[in-house]
Structure 1
């Protein structure tokens, strides 16, 4: 049940911290705001330091396999486009669905169905040409036959320097409403959380996921793409494979976000309208296809696979950036430019 506990904490923190990785990557492009990108880097760095220490102590194991570079490229761009259309990544869609956002609920449906389909014989056959090309080495250490620690030190120094640069910049106070709660209740359900605080907490959870999931025979960290596919099989066929460590993690994420939304009085049903709902469904489906091809979603690839310096994880990042930024350009920047031209 450790998956359920860690999932609950993760869902709670992401909801209360408004930790939207998709929005952060979009803001990097639209507003040159790199706070959320730095927060993601903090999670990767903390997890990397702890993970390789755990491996040395025998508390965790690293995944093996090869590097399906073409599937990662295509899957990453596809996931990024879906993320832009849905307005969140797959994990973000789950925690926003727990808040009552109908668009996110529809995105989750699309993600679950597509995640299931791409793992079926028909889906595998359809995407076989993309899944075929592979390189034998899955990680930086395998390719160069080196210790991970020089890379860990370099990543730590880079992250520390970037965070220091960001924190020393002059910031402007954000007006806050008068607190209605006091003490711990205020901090848990009312106070505004800094993205870096959320990142540290998520980094610890991501690290603990490795040894806790290993106890159940699973080699890996956080991830929701696989259990999302199993959720569809549970609903439609009654298959109980969903009830493993990763499945309980998924249940915990939803439950934690639900409690956080209820405690902060953000739990209410909201509908964005039919056009946005259709876009969210399509975006969720693309995220399901993309994560199936790339071997992981935003959580599994961007947060987890990068921590052990897998080529798949680090290639996935620029691919989702490309996909999400393309959507931002055609849906936000280009229409705004057209409106300004008409007004002139």
Structure 2
């Protein structure tokens, strides 16, 4: 029944939201933070998928169909997609579930993504899509090339994944522990590795449920997103298949999870972030169409089937993310003689969180920047919850999408002396893990970490 897509999608959206599961961040952290810890979560998804799908195929429950490998389309498309997800602030599935958290920028990216995918697959750009995809080689899967059972590759990947997961978990539990928010059990996030296991199991269950409705495929985001646009434009009910209900379920599940955990709030981005979201969304649709899938269809499903398309696409997703990170993921503040980092957006962004307001200083200097940023030492401050004591600096990143709150925090902390404190206000959900983890790994002390309202947090970090 197609309704199973909606149910499974809702569970998937809730798990992704509670696990802060974002492939963009996993690939990005390799280049910006030099860590493979988050990427290991993606390997867990692929490994669980590989075990389940190989077992189902061996038992004759599912019959995957393999398209000829089109290297030019996959390489070009995957690179474009990798660049675009950095601009959009999230991959395909990440954009769907972040839309459920109230991020208007994700809604803008989704519109661009769905429309461009529709244009590439069934619209005026379908000829362009078909042209690049016609250059194929007679190869589909790695096991078929070597004439080996896929179980050999399942075992190898599983062993590598288990080693990496054990290593990073050991470091996590024996090294400095990040400070966590004090909150009820139902509001606590899932460990990303646990979320990965659940997502992998969901992916295994998805294939036979989808195949039962005539859709011989597993998890996927790009074609279902395209079908959403096609249905809205044409009203043709044939587009409302299992995959469409899956992505709508992701949105609904993430919305419910965010509301229950107090992490939902409508957040309207500034002009620069909005324009990047639209451009990124359009690029996602173009890139995923050429590559034959996104970070779910290629990066989770095709990789677990050990197709050339899946693994080559994943590699060039990473290349695109790395290039985009080098170009765009930089601190936005500009140091002035008064010790102030500021943008005009930071003043406007405080309306949603008046508690985070800091004392003004005379003649602040403003610099054009894509995020709301303000760092200043307080000479005097009014009494009350907004007070910032002498020696404390306030960093306003409200309205900034990830990873900018962390990037700005690292940059601002470099300007402080040992013992001084950085007070960071942010509303990016992923930063609730990234900032305290950075503080622990860098040897800084978190003296306070609390929610300031729905989808708003304050953390005080004393420089070590």
TM tier, smaller:
over 0.9
- Do structure 1's residue 217 and structure 2's residue 214 form an aligned pair? yes
Are residue 85 (structure 1) and residue 113 (structure 2) matched?
Answer: no
Equivalent in 270, 278, 282 of residue 267 of structure 2: 270
Structure 1 pair 282–175 and aligned structure 2 pair: CA distance change class (3 A): same
Contact 2:19 2:192 (8 Å CA) reproduced: yes
Contact kept in structure 1, 2:114 and 2:226, CA below 8 Å = yes
Among 49, 52, 56, the alignment partner of 2:58 is 56
The alignment partner of 1:306 has SS state of helix
Structure richer in strand, relative to its length:
2
| 1:173 alignment counterpart | 177
Instruction: Give the C-alpha shift of residue 150 in structure 1.
Output: 0.9
In terms of Rg, which structure is larger? 2
**Aligned counterpart, 1:163:** 165
Counterparts of 2:201 and 2:305 in 1: how far apart (Å)?
Answer: 15
| Residues 338/225 of structure 1: CA separation in 2 closer, same or farther (3 Å cut) | farther
CA distance in 1, matches of 2:131, 2:331: 34
Is the contact made by 1:65 and 1:136 (CA closer than 8 Å) also made in structure 2?
A: no
Q: Which residue of 1 aligns with 2:281?
A: 284
Closer, same or farther in 2 for the Cα pair 1:33/1:6, shift >3 Å? same
Q: Map Cα deviations across residues 45-85 of structure 1 (whole Å, 9 max, x no partner).
A: 01101111111112111122211111000110010011011
Q: Is residue 129–residue 289 contact of structure 2 (8 Å, CA) maintained in 1?
A: no
* Inter-partner Cα distance in structure 2 for 1:300 and 1:228: 12
Q: Are residues 1:324 and 2:321 paired?
A: yes
User: Structure 1 CA distance, aligned partners of 2:234 and 2:71?
Assistant: 33
> Partners of 1:303 and 1:214 in 2: how far apart?
18
CA distance in 1, matches of 2:332, 2:269: 20
Q: CA deviation at 1:145?
A: 2.4
User: Structure 2 CA distance, aligned partners of 1:287 and 1:209?
Assistant: 23
Cα distance in structure 2, aligned partners of 1:199 and 1:337 = 39
Q: How does 1:137-216 map to 2 (within 5 A)?
A: 137-169=139-171, 170-179=174-183, 181=184, 186=185, 189-216=186-213
Measured after TM superposition, the shift of residue 165 of structure 1 is 1.6
- Structure 1 residue 197, shift from structure 2 partner: 0.6
Q: Deviations over 1:288-335 (max 9, x none)?
A: 001111111111110111001010000011111111111110112597
| Equivalent residue pairs, number | 334
Shift of 1:152: 0.9
Deviation at 1:33, TM superposition (A): 2.3
Which of the residues 208, 225, 249 maps onto 1:228?
225
Give the equivalent residue in structure 2 for 1:297.
Answer: 294
Higher helix share goes to which structure? 1
CA gap of 1:219–1:161, structure 2 versus 1, over 3 A, is same
| Normalised TM-score (structure 1) | 0.93
Provide closer, same or farther for how the CA distance between residues 54 and 331 of structure 1 changes in structure 2, counting only shifts above 3 A.
same
Distance 1:57 1:259 in 2: 36
> Structure 1's 229 and 337: CA in aligned 2 closer, same or farther, altered over 3 A?
same
In the alignment, the residues of structure 2 paired with residue 60 and residue 166 of structure 1 have an alpha-carbon distance, to the nearest angstrom, of 34
Task: Report the alpha carbon displacement of residue 88 of structure 1 after superposing the two structures with TM.
Answer: 0.5
Gaps of 5+ in 2: 337-410, 416-464
Preserved contact between residue 143 and residue 153 of structure 2 (Cα < 8 Å): no
Give structure 1 stretches of 5+ with no counterpart: none
Shift of 1:270: 0.4
Deviation at 1:338, TM superposition (A): 12
Task: Summarize the Cα distance change of 1:336–1:163 in structure 2 as closer, same or farther, 3 Å threshold.
Answer: farther
29, 35, 38: which is aligned to 2:37?
A: 35
2-structure distance, mates of 1:98, 1:335: 27
The two structures, once aligned, show a CA RMSD in angstroms of 2.0
Contact 2:69/2:140, CA 8 A, preserved across alignment = yes
